[in-house]
Structure 1
Amino acid sequence: MSDNEIQPLVDQLAQQLQRSVVINDPAVRMLYNSAHFGDEDPVRVQAILHRDAGPKAIGHVLAQGVRTWTTAGVIPPYEEIGLKARVAVPIRWRGDLLGLLLVMDADSSLTTSELAAINETARIVAPMLVGQRPGDEDAAARERAIRDLVSTEPTVRRRALADLGPDAELNRFTHVTAIDVGVARTAEPGGASHVEMALRDAVTSSRPPGLTAELHAVTAGGALLLLGGAAPIPDNVSRGHAQRIVERMRDLAAGRFTPVAGVGFPVAGLDRAVETADQARLARRAASSVLGTDVATWADVGPYGPLLRIPADELSASALPVELRRLLDIDHGQKLTETLRAYLDHACSGPATSEALYIHRTTLYYRLGRIGELTGLDLADGRTRLVLHLGLTMMDLMRARVRQ
């Protein structure tokens, strides 16, 4: 249906109520708006001027769970951004959410008959919005093909390249970098649709310079971006783009979840996208666990990369090397273990380790000697050092997974 059919209904309702009215899409992007009636707030003004209410406002609306509403509800005020209370009515057609009809109600003065008029307008508008929905099936098929580009099955990847057609022209993806975006922590259950909307908004909100093409696929569990360039995309560009996505998602989250992203290493050609996507996925997992950051690149992951491939249910104390378990069995206060960790982290340099631990070098060598006496381990042996360092790194992952 055309704007000429919906806009008059919005204007008519606003005139009847003497209140500002807006219809947003399910992602809280403005589709139609009425004139002001003196009740506008800064958020409404921004939305009309820029066609974007801003991530904090959108996140606040989504955080109320509006995507699951079946009847009218209240969007509470958000004083920090100047948002006044609104009544929101979901616009649904055969169960599918097509939009949100919002009416300003800062003083909670809407009457029963006025609410009935709002609901009736939502009912009339619903079938009109059906015709305005983008080709959902085509979009879903395209995103499935993008996810198939990074399948572990070569035949699936080849079919995906063919299915994408012009979108996957190799000359547009001479070099490819993947970004994997997800959620490290969900504050409450039932937020999957909120996460997906935030992901879709964030991955399409900006595009870094120097790209020749971009593909993305989003689910409630995460988003995959494939950035194409004529030359390898510099680390600061891909990292910066991932950081902007995370920051916008953080505003959209309204405290309900914690976004995190990983960035893979550039590869030559879309047919090798599976490699950079795999790295991005592991970098995201490392960021949210052992690295303690919201964005990590493959270069940041270091020794954690191979260990992150170990299934969670197999990464337990029994998997630790026997040499390290021997030390842990006798070092209940962990002083010797932490001394050993610092010693290995500083390439077995006595001066650097003692400085890092703020202890005298004599104290350091005494502790290292005690480790040898109590465990029978030879810390001068290269293989022993490797096994111990590997075991300590595994412990980092185990502790991180327990915290999560």
Structure 2
Amino acid sequence: MTASADVQEAVDKLAVSLGHPVLVEDARHRPLWWSAQGEVDGTRLRTIMQREVSSAAAAVVVRLGLPRAQGPVRVPAVPEAEMLPRWCVPLRAGRDLLGYLWVLNGDELVTEADLPRIVACADLAAMSLAWSRSQDDHDRRRAALLARLEAGPDDDAARELIALEQLDPSATVVVQASSAPGGWKLRGGMSAHVNPPAAAGATSGRPVPVGDLHLAVTRATATLQVLRAGAALSRPSWDALGAWHLIVAAPPDLSVADIHPGADVLARQPKPDLMITARAMLDHGGDITRTAAALHIHRTTLYYRLDRIEVLTGVSLRSGPGRGDLHVALRLAAYRAAAR
């Protein structure tokens, strides 16, 4: 791989050694690397300052056959296109045109004797562009395979991804909810990480085979939804959901009211205070002191709300039957409300 900084250094050195400005652009005439310019013509100025070329200058490039040239070409002055004399070296990877290296030569003091240095710089730029193109193709192919694996089981996509990334067939993967360094970007800002350390603590929980990436994504998504529902987990991971696993696994046709109708009654109240209080009271095991502290309310206010909740739902949150069912129903309601 040839780094961009290496090409820039080579361009600067070439310009100094020639005493003439150098520009490297891609095949669409967008500037990539350039030296200090000094006196320039209209075409060079427009290329660097406006990142475009005039139609007249583009026509000159085609008329002189530069896209097909296999080596350096001396380009004469073309006043109607605002072009001073210059040297052009097309940048290629095999038969593919990657761009051009230009040496502005208004005084025509750059001669064929200088071409070896110019060609050496052009070759370095071509290597960098070829690697970049190859990496872009690689990244696009990987992204397409990841999209297929996110959508569901796909043995062919798994085999292709393992081959593309030169992984061991037994490689495993986890998903982090927030895109983390070193991972592959996934939808929703998540990232996939291959063969994670044992103590990685991923959002999706324990590693799964690469072919089960969809499962890791589903688990990470559910974990995030549980957290949005207000769950107090020991860590933000599928492995820490505990009883929330039952909420996540609840079938769609199971309604909140099927578990306890009181949850629906609380949800229909004009203000959410009673539902929030009921959740907090049940989450804290019926402890008045801890619940009041968590809600930042006076105990008298809490007692008033608890009485109202008992009237509406028929459940005493301090003791008595129905508390467990109402708790599960409230969690299920919160989980479904947190869906995106």
* TM-score for both structures, normalised by structure 2: 0.50
Structure 2 equivalent of residue 82 of structure 1: none
Superposition deviation, residue 391 in structure 1? 2.6
Q: How high is the sequence identity, in percent, across the aligned residues?
A: 18
Indicate whether 1:89 and 2:81 are aligned. no
- Partner amino acid for 2:200? P
Per-residue Cα deviation, 1:247-301 (whole angstroms, up to 9, x for no partner): xxxxxxxxxxxxxxxx32122544544433322233456678868xxx9543576
Do 2:315 and 2:321's aligned partners in 1 also have CA atoms closer than 8 Å?
no
Structure 2 equivalent of residue 225 of structure 1: 192
The 5-angstrom pairing of residues 82-231 of structure 1 reads 87=49, 89=51, 127-129=97-99, 132=130, 133-134=133-134, 137=137, 139-153=139-153, 156=154, 158-163=155-160, 164-165=162-163, 167-170=166-169, 173=171, 175-181=172-178, 206-207=181-182, 216=184, 224-229=191-196
Superposition RMSD in Å: 5.7
Aligned mate of 2:221, from 274, 278, 281: 281
Classify the secondary structure of the residue corresponding to 2:310: helix
Do 2:274 and 2:305's aligned partners in 1 also have CA atoms closer than 8 Å?
yes
Indicate whether 1:336 and 2:274 are aligned. yes
Do 2:220 and 2:237's aligned partners in 1 also have CA atoms closer than 8 Å?
yes
In terms of fraction of residues, the more strand-rich structure is: 1
- Higher RCO (CA 8 Å, separation ≥ 6 residues): 1
CA distance in 1, matches of 2:178, 2:26: 26
Indicate whether 1:265 and 2:205 are aligned. yes
Superposition deviation, residue 169 in structure 1? 0.9
Do 2:220 and 2:238's aligned partners in 1 also have CA atoms closer than 8 Å?
yes
CA distance in 2, matches of 1:16, 1:311: 75
Do 2:11 and 2:34's aligned partners in 1 also have CA atoms closer than 8 Å?
no
Structure 1 equivalent of residue 315 of structure 2: 377
Structure 2 equivalent of residue 44 of structure 1: none
* TM-score for both structures, normalised by structure 1: 0.44
CA distance in 2, matches of 1:307, 1:139: 37
Classify the secondary structure of the residue corresponding to 1:134: helix
Structure 2 equivalent of residue 199 of structure 1: none
Per-residue Cα deviation, 1:51-99 (whole angstroms, up to 9, x for no partner): xxxxxxxxxxxxxxxxxxxxx89xxxxxxxxxxxx845279xxxxxxxx
- Partner amino acid for 1:34? S
CA distance in 2, matches of 1:323, 1:140: 51
CA distance in 2, matches of 1:318, 1:11: 77
Q: Count residues in correspondence.
A: 255
- Partner amino acid for 1:342? A
Per-residue Cα deviation, 1:354-384 (whole angstroms, up to 9, x for no partner): 3334455455344323322244335445544
CA distance in 2, matches of 1:319, 1:366: 27
CA distance in 1, matches of 2:292, 2:198: 41
Do 1:307 and 1:394's aligned partners in 2 also have CA atoms closer than 8 Å?
no
Distance 1:318 1:302, change over 3 A: same
Classify the secondary structure of the residue corresponding to 2:195: strand
CA distance in 2, matches of 1:324, 1:304: 17
CA distance in 1, matches of 2:254, 2:19: 64
The 5-angstrom pairing of residues 293-312 of structure 1 reads 297-298=237-238
Per-residue Cα deviation, 1:324-371 (whole angstroms, up to 9, x for no partner): 222344x43444333223212212112211333445545534432332
Structure 1 equivalent of residue 117 of structure 2: none
CA distance in 1, matches of 2:296, 2:34: 64
Runs of 5+ consecutive residues of structure 2 not aligned to the other structure: 39-45, 54-78, 100-125
Classify the secondary structure of the residue corresponding to 1:340: helix
Classify the secondary structure of the residue corresponding to 1:167: coil
Indicate whether 1:391 and 2:321 are aligned. no
Per-residue Cα deviation, 1:169-226 (whole angstroms, up to 9, x for no partner): 145x3x53223557xxxxxxxxxxxxxxxxxxxx6xx54xxxxxxx73667x656423
Q: Indicate the structure (1 or 2) with the bigger Cα radius of gyration.
A: 2
Do 1:181 and 1:284's aligned partners in 2 also have CA atoms closer than 8 Å?
no
